[in-house]
Amino acid sequence: MNIFYNSQHSPVGAFASFTLGYKGASGGVGIGLSGPACQNVYIGAESVDCHGRFSALPFYKENIEHHVETEPTAQDVWGDSDRRSGGQDHADEQVEQAESVTISPFPDDEISRLTTPARDIWRCGDLEFKIYTPSQSVPDMTLESEFMSIDPTITKDALIPAVFAELTLDNTAGASPRKAFFGYEGNDPYNAMRRVDIIDTKNKDAADTAKANDINIKGVAQGGITGIFTDDADVTCALAFSADELLADDIADRLPFGLGTTGLLVMTAKPYELRTWRFAVCFYRAGVVTTGIETVYMYTRHFKNIEDVAGYALKNFERYRAEAAHFDAMVMERGLSVERQFLLSQAIKSYYGSTQLLFDPIAAKPLWIVNEGAYRMLNTLDLAVDQLFFEMLKNPWTVRSVLDQYADSYSYADEVKNGVGEKFPGGISFTHDMGVANVFSAPGRSAYELCGRSGCYSYMAQEQLVNWILCAGVYWEGSRDDGWLSSRRETIEACLASMLNRDGAGVDARDGVMDLDSCETGGGAEITTYDNVDTALGRARRSSYLAVKCWAAYLALSKMFDALGSAGLADTAANQAQRCADTIMRYRRADGTIPALLEDGDAAITLSIAEGLVYPVVMGLFEDMALAERYCVFVSAIKKHFEVALANGCKFESGAWKMSKTSDNSWLSKTFLCQFIAEKIFKRPPDAAADKAHASWLLDPNNALQAFSDQMAAGKICGSAYYPRGVTSILWLG
């Protein structure tokens, strides 16, 4: 099993990752990026028997030629290159550093690795490197405003933009002292690397402040945005043009050097000593970071700069480490297979890497954002509906917050049209997203949707309407937040009206399945979240995948109207659910399959048709025996379809599941949903072979750079890299 895969080690809500695990300059510390920072990361130690020879984990680019004169074609050639490059008779200077130091990667077969949801551990000989990502729950930030703050300690604890690391060197068998090191070569275009030493006596003011604040840290950083820090007084920090220069014995002379592009923390284990050093890998982005809505990171209200983050992180290191162990225990004692543990761990880590908790100082409101992985679209609603199972466990208030953001700022009203372009009343729907990469789109508009299309970038009016309703239902049911439900009565009523209008113009035309496209599409047609898979899954109109979600949405609406005391609307919704189920059943074929498009003659089949079943189950709707009975046959029909599909084309040769028989592009996050449905609802045993195949996709060296990725064309990433959606796997926990 390949162990050289990237994982995103991420704090909560900082849109930041310390990404590590793929060979080469493939990881590093990044804020707000669309992929790994691709920096050199140096973690290693001196060999037992040879002074000056060092081994490191293979997370840097080997054989970098230092001080090479380069053609001036890139912006940083002159900025980052050694000024000596133009030297002539100073060539002798270059050999002033006489001591020869070499760093080589540990051999692959000597490295072992264990990734859990909240930890990642590499072992190599007598060196061990651990990363902790405690992923604590975040208090309900909507209770926090410019004028009011919930318990600042709890908030600060949860929002700290840092992850935690330990390096242990077991020198108990060594008669000589041995150095160890941890550092990186940043590549931010705007800020230099720097050495931080708060205990620096020459800088008396800083030292006094640090002392007063009980901050006693040192480290290396890139400007004020990223850094690696420790509170261990025995550690030495410095910069140089390359890591090897810093492992030479003259490091004391190099301390003040500010031009180095690589920063290391260097420490020494004494003879016969087993020594552990601890570190905080920190992130900080000051000031307004978004446009459209001008917001700051919420953590900037609790930490004044990266040094402050580092001080707090290190002071509370033990507590954070315990939190990580606690989170792991919660997950790991549930008996998941090794493959599922791996998949879930990768999914959770990439999810947190995409989370971004912002604060709008003008509205005095928090904004919870999950960025769409490499695409970085904000709170993409067709992801939110899948990720909500995870958040209902960790931070249910974020689900409500996203629902409110959509209802208040990112909804719109449309008209709908039939196949010959006749227009009819439509109703409310929600945008695909709220913008992209720190740019909020205008209210009522997504960054994604364009008119005049019937494929990628078209509108998703029906899909997003259903997604909002399902999020609302699951949130309300899971939180029993009746106050919120009441406050959204108007929106929920508008949702039902809009659902009806999309089904057909007038009661007689309605069969519970969407027939009318939004006029926002112009001459085009609506699509679903499966925007680049195939027509079987990509087209919205009469999609059976979307129909089952509509059925679930009608059930959720019915339940919500019951709770709101609107019996009439509850009935309307319930009747629509029944109509929808009946229509789907009507298309069953002799072999038990249901076509992907509820039209005559469509042969395509998908696994995704089953997806909608998850919502009533999670909402516990079938605990109402009458309802369970009413849909028993329907659920059985979907199960029958599912089993036939799985046996006839919806599986890859490897055993991996295939969402659509007619496309090689299958999505892991959606597969996890289907696995939950298969096991929980259809009572199928877990498909261990499929799990192995799915894990092998992420482990494939062609894919493993991008941590958790979702869209795989026969096992090769074809989109949705560095992606948060995989947390649907939390459903495996049951």
Instruction: Pick one of 37, 513, 547, 613: the residue that binds its own copies (CB under 8 A).
Output: 37
Q: Which is nearer to its own copies, 40 or 572 (CB)?
A: 40
Residues numbered 488 to 507 that lie near its own copies (CB under 8 A) are: none
The 3-state DSSP class for residue 263 equals strand
Query: What is the side-by-side order of every strand in the sheet holding 665-667?
Result: 665-667, 711-713, 716-719
> Whole-number minimum distance, CB 376 to its own copies, in Å?
6
Instruction: Give the angle 99-100-103 at the CA atoms, nearest 5°.
Output: 135
| Separation CA 589–CA 41 (nearest Å) | 57
Task: Mark the segment that binds its own copies (CB under 8 A) among 49-57, 369-377, 419-427, 628-636.
Answer: 369-377
Task: Mark the segment that binds its own copies (CB under 8 A) among 114-122, 156-164, 198-206, 346-354.
Answer: 198-206
| Separation CA 123–CA 168 (nearest Å) | 9
> Whole-number minimum distance, CB 471 to its own copies, in Å?
22
CA distances to 177, 308, 310, 703 from 39, rounded to whole Å, are 29, 24, 21, 18
- Are 158 and 368 within 8 A, CB to CB? no
Residues numbered 280 to 309 that lie near its own copies (CB under 8 A) are: 286-288, 290-292, 294, 296, 305
Task: Mark the segment that binds its own copies (CB under 8 A) among 197-205, 417-425, 482-490, 643-651.
Answer: 197-205
> Whole-number minimum distance, CB 540 to its own copies, in Å?
14
Task: Mark the segment that binds its own copies (CB under 8 A) among 33-41, 391-399, 620-628, 645-653.
Answer: 33-41
Establish if 72 lies at the interface with its own copies (CB under 8 A).
yes
- Residue 514 amino acid letter: M
| Separation CA 496–CA 244 (nearest Å) | 66
- Estimate the crossing angle of helix 688-699 against helix 338-354, to 10 degrees: 50
Residues numbered 88 to 147 that lie near its own copies (CB under 8 A) are: 88-90, 92-93, 96
Residues numbered 715 to 734 that lie near its own copies (CB under 8 A) are: 717-722
Site size with its own copies, rule: CB under 8 A? 111
Instruction: Pick one of 662, 680, 700, 733: the residue that binds its own copies (CB under 8 A).
Output: 662
Instruction: Pick one of 33, 101, 370, 605: the residue that binds its own copies (CB under 8 A).
Output: 33
| Separation CA 619–CA 635 (nearest Å) | 16
Q: Which is nearer to its own copies, 289 or 627 (CB)?
A: 289
Helix, strand, coil percentages, rounded to 5, for the chain: 40, 20, 40
| Separation CA 585–CA 709 (nearest Å) | 34
Establish if 519 lies at the interface with its own copies (CB under 8 A).
no
Q: Which is nearer to its own copies, 226 or 729 (CB)?
A: 226
Q: Which is nearer to its own copies, 224 or 655 (CB)?
A: 224
Q: Which is nearer to its own copies, 455 or 620 (CB)?
A: 455
Establish if 262 lies at the interface with its own copies (CB under 8 A).
no
Establish if 325 lies at the interface with its own copies (CB under 8 A).
no
> Whole-number minimum distance, CB 666 to its own copies, in Å?
11
Residues numbered 214 to 253 that lie near its own copies (CB under 8 A) are: 221, 223-224, 250, 253
- Sequence-distant (≥ 6) Cβ neighbours of residue 79 within 8 angstroms: none
Instruction: Pick one of 143, 154, 173, 259: the residue that binds its own copies (CB under 8 A).
Output: 259
Of 429, 399, 426, which Cα lies nearest the Cα of 412?
429
> Whole-number minimum distance, CB 155 to its own copies, in Å?
21
| Separation CA 533–CA 666 (nearest Å) | 8
| Separation CA 97–CA 669 (nearest Å) | 53
Pairing mode, strands 193-197 and 218-222: antiparallel
Q: Which is nearer to its own copies, 573 or 704 (CB)?
A: 704
> Whole-number minimum distance, CB 700 to its own copies, in Å?
11
User: How many other C-beta atoms are found inside a 10 Å radius of the C-beta of residue 716?
Assistant: 14
**Residue 145: both structure tokens together:** 């405003």
**Residue 691: both structure tokens together:** 């799990």
Of 441, 337, 356, 312, which Cα lies nearest the Cα of 688?
337
Establish if 161 lies at the interface with its own copies (CB under 8 A).
no
> Whole-number minimum distance, CB 600 to its own copies, in Å?
20
| Separation CA 541–CA 564 (nearest Å) | 31
> Whole-number minimum distance, CB 102 to its own copies, in Å?
21
Q: Which is nearer to its own copies, 452 or 620 (CB)?
A: 452
Establish if 79 lies at the interface with its own copies (CB under 8 A).
yes
Residues numbered 422 to 481 that lie near its own copies (CB under 8 A) are: 435-439, 441-457
Q: Which is nearer to its own copies, 292 or 686 (CB)?
A: 292
Cα of 285 vs its chain's centroid, Å: 19
B/e letters for 331-342, b = 16+ CB within 10 Å, e = fewer, are bbeeebeebbbb
Q: Which is nearer to its own copies, 77 or 585 (CB)?
A: 77
Pairing mode, strands 274-283 and 193-197: unpaired
